[in-house]
Every structure is written in structure tokens, then in C-alpha cells.
Amino acid sequence: MESQDFQFICGAMYPMIPAEVLARMIRFNQRLYEDTMVHRLYGRKGSPWEFNLRDIFRWCDLMIHSQQPGTYGEPELFLDTIYLQRFRAIEDRDAALRLFNEVFESSFQPDAHPFYHVTPHHVQIGMHLFTSFTNTPMLIAFFYLSPCRCCMDVETQGAI
């Protein structure tokens, strides 16, 4: 499929997201595929990669479900969830982030260490709060916070 096809499909499915935002999301997705699979510039650990229309749908769904009805969240809010955490190497995540900032003409930096709070009854990571179902103390390694937040993004939005 060509980018015009992606644009048409996404525009029809997500009319509340501006066409320019969708165009950048599509461009990022396609460039990420080209960089990792065609030119093999980065992302060798864990390849082969598939970055396709399904990823854009997931990204749009998370953006839509994260806000009030009829509005959408910013694409960068779920960049880590949809794309960055898939890469195994930090250098690959950094390269994908540079690509995102180039395509979106931004200087976004994801929160590498999201806020967290653990009590005997609740676990909070980022903006997500869950009830703990265990009576044993919970320990979460610091380097797992960002992947945990991404899982919570998907789980709370029902966008699996």
C-alpha cells in the first residue's frame, strides 16, 4: 500500500485526528520500516521488524481513548508504547526517537523514569492506578517502570 492509501484509511477511521497529524504518523511508520528493514541503519537486534497499518491503528486508538470523547491525545504520548519499547537496544530506541523528532519537527524526550508509587493495596505507574491483588510486598525494578507503563497504557485502553 502507498502512503495515500494509509492516509485515506486512517482519515476515514479516525476523523477526529487532523490529517496533518495522521500524515506525520504514517510518514514516521514508513520511514521507521525503511530505516530498519530496507537500509538496516539500526534495529538489528530483534529484527525482522514489521511496522505497518496495524501499528498506526493501535497508535490512533490509544490517542483517542486517552482523551475526552471527540478529542485526541498527542502522538508522542504513546510513541514509547507502540514503537520504542519494541527495540532491544537503547541505541535503536534513540535512533527511532530521532526519526520521530525529525518527522514531527519536535524535540520530544520520553520520560525514562515514570512516576511510580507502590502501597500494599495499589500500584501507580505514570497516570495508571491499579489495585494490588497480593498481600506480599511488591518490588518493581527501576528499569522495568517504562515497559510496565506501556503495558498499562494498552491494558487500560483496551487496545491490545
Condensed to tens digits (0 to 9), the pLDDT of residues 102-117 reads: 999 999 998 766 666 6
Which residue, among 144, 32, 23, has the nearest Cα to 82 in the 3D structure?
32
C-alpha to C-alpha distance for 44 and 59, rounded to whole angstroms: 23
Examine the domain organization and report whether 47 and 70 are in the same domain: yes
- The Cα-based distances of 100 to 106, 140, 143 in angstroms read 8, 29, 23
Q: Helix 145-157 to helix 53-65 angle, to the nearest 10 degrees? A: 80
Examine the domain organization and report whether 8 and 37 are in the same domain: yes
C-alpha to C-alpha distance for 149 and 127, rounded to whole angstroms: 9
Q: For the chain, what is the domain count?
A: 2
Examine the domain organization and report whether 9 and 62 are in the same domain: yes
DSSP 16-40: TS-HHHHHHHHHHHHHHHIIIIIS-
Examine the domain organization and report whether 52 and 76 are in the same domain: yes
- Which region, left, alpha or beta, applies to residue 45 given φ > 0 means left and ψ of -120 to 50 means alpha? beta
- The Cα-based distances of 62 to 16, 82, 97, 129, 154 in angstroms read 13, 9, 19, 17, 7
- Locate all alpha helices (DSSP H) within 34-144, ordered by sequence: 53-65, 79-82, 90-104
Examine the domain organization and report whether 22 and 45 are in the same domain: yes
Is residue 3 predicted with pLDDT exceeding 60? yes
Domain coverage including residue 65 = 3-104
The answer to whether residue 67 is domain-embedded is: yes
Examine the domain organization and report whether 99 and 124 are in the same domain: no
The arithmetic mean of pLDDT across residues 148-156, rounded, is 55
Q: What is the pLDDT of residues 50-101, one digit of tens each?
A: 899 999 999 999 888 876 555 567 899 889 889 998 998 999 999 999 999 9
- What's this model's pTM, rounded to 2 decimal places? 0.75
Examine the domain organization and report whether 89 and 125 are in the same domain: no
* Least trusted range by pLDDT, from 8-22, 37-51, 89-103, 134-148: 134-148
Examine the domain organization and report whether 87 and 11 are in the same domain: yes
Examine the domain organization and report whether 129 and 68 are in the same domain: no
Return the DSSP state at 123. E
